[in-house]
Chain A
Amino acid sequence: MSATVTMKLHEVHIFESKNGYENVVGMVRWTVEFSRGQFVSRAGVETLLDVSSLSNFTPIAQVTREQVLTWAAAAQGGDAFVEHLRPHHENELDLQERRAGLVPYEGIPLDPLPYHPTQPTIPQQVL
């Protein structure tokens, strides 16, 4: 069964002033979610929008979430972009399905995992 695709908008960044216009949407961070039942695989996307030509400029007050996602998706290549991502995420969903129901078993002596407190971690992470 082919995964269902949902787009989610996470961040919108604007130029407060650009080529005579105010509040021009310039960058979007969004996610393409591939889901199959309870399983989800996410594709993060950061899209820089082309703001060199603003002849069809829409004032920010009239810009909807759907419009921003449409702009972002189109800038990445539209349906072709999603289909390019799909095989990887279908594979990820296959793995999630195969792993479902597995629980750790500690009845066999196990070696501890390596501990690396100084290894690169994500700096912004709040724990």
Chain B
Amino acid sequence: MGTVTQYNMANIRDALGGSNPVSLSQYYRGGPRVPTTRTVTVRDPSSGDYFNMSNPLTHWLQVLTYGGSPIDAAGYWFGTNLGNFGSGAPTSFTTGGFTYFRGSFRERRLGDYTIEDFYGIFRTSSSTVSINTGVPSSGQISISQLFGAENP
């Protein structure tokens, strides 16, 4: 789906979906073709990842056995210890409204009994924003009120 960019019925149907013959009554806000909200995802950083092995610690740590099997993982986000992820050493971890992702490989170190692989880290967060606020949810509706309407 898409966004209405022209003042004509064909463009409305193409952008929002709908059946022929096109009737404006199928484009009330809150209906299946004109949602009231959209989910916005923000990636931090917008590309690539963060990596810092000194203060403030910012990295993803993957712990391996000498045989090479991952046994655990943990993350540090600008000094905050995100915890011990466990459960088969995941490569993403969701907590506190953020999803943290393992980024690119940076360094391998020998521990006393394990091998530690260090990676960059990035995170995403999602929020819900109101959309299509200019479109009526009932009553009279006009083509001009649908200009800019979106169906993500």
Residues of A whose CB lies within 8 Å of any CB of B are 8, 10, 29, 31, 40-47, 76-77, 80-81, 84-85, 88-89, 92, 112-117, 119-125, 127
Contacts and interface: CB of A to CB of B under 8 A. Distances in A.
Interface of B: 39, 41, 57, 61, 63, 71-74, 76, 83-96, 99, 101-102, 107-116, 124, 126
Given A81-B94, A116-B116, 6 more contacts: A31-B88, A45-B94, A88-B101, A112-B110, A114-B107, A114-B109
> Secondary structure at chain A's binding surface: helix, strand, loop or mixed?
mixed
A85 B116 CA distance: 24
10 contacts: A41-B90, A42-B88, A44-B93, A45-B93, A47-B94, A81-B94, A113-B109, A121-B116, A122-B74, A125-B114
A123 B74 CA distance: 10
A107 B72 CA distance: 30
Nearest to A103: B68
B111 A117 contact: yes
B91 A89 contact: yes
Contacts of B76: 120
